[in-house]
């Protein structure tokens, strides 16, 4: 499975070396994940756990519920206990943030994704709701 995943990633990287198109899909979950990592600090959640939480935030509808079920099945976190204001502060300084907007990858169904530019306040509201367990 790992070799298969690496071959898929390799294809995206080779086809889009400048990360200006379809390669961006590889960032799914990473923007929020990096914000969580900043807030958690050393000894907190692993990189993979943070990215998985980011995927939970950036998915919607049934896809979010599918991701949540998988995380629970494997005993992985589905919300955080870190100071959410630290997560939001880190996200406001992300390289994909520009002024009061941020570019993110969203996924609402298996095999599909969107590159969206969201108002920062909308993004922060979504992050807060999902990471505190208030969003379905």
pLDDT in tens, 9-63: 777 777 766 666 676 777 889 999 999 998 887 678 899 999 999 999 999 989 9
18 in a structural domain: no
Structure tokens at 23: 């390669």
- Distances in Å between the Cα of 73 and the Cα atoms of 1, 13, 37, 69, 78 are 19, 31, 22, 6, 11
Residue 76's pLDDT band (boundaries 50, 70, 90)? very high
Vertex 92 angle, CA 90 and 98, to 5°: 140
Q: Domain containing 89 — which CATH number?
A: 1.20.1090.10
- Distances in Å between the Cα of 74 and the Cα atoms of 28, 46, 67, 77, 84 are 20, 14, 11, 9, 24
- How many other β-carbons are positioned within 10 Å of the β-carbon of residue 99? 7
Count the domains in the chain: 1
Provide the residue range defining the domain that includes 56.
Answer: 2-11+24-131
Prediction pTM value:
0.84
């Amino acid at each position: 499975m790992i070799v298969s995943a690496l071959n898929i990633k390799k294809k995206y990287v080779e086809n889009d070396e400048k990360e200006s198109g379809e390669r961006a899909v590889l960032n799914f979950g990473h923007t929020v994940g990096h914000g969580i990592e900043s807030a958690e600090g050393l000894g907190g959640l692993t990189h993979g756990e943070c990215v998985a939480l980011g995927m939970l935030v950036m998915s919607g509808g049934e896809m979010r519920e599918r991701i949540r079920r998988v995380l629970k099945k494997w005993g992985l976190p589905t919300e955080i206990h870190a100071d959410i204001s630290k997560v939001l502060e880190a996200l406001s300084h992300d390289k994909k943030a520009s002024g009061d907007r941020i570019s993110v990858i969203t996924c609402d169904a298996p095999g599909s994704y969107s590159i969206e530019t969201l108002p920062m306040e909308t993004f922060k509201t979504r992050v807060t709701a999902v990471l505190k367990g208030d969003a379905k």
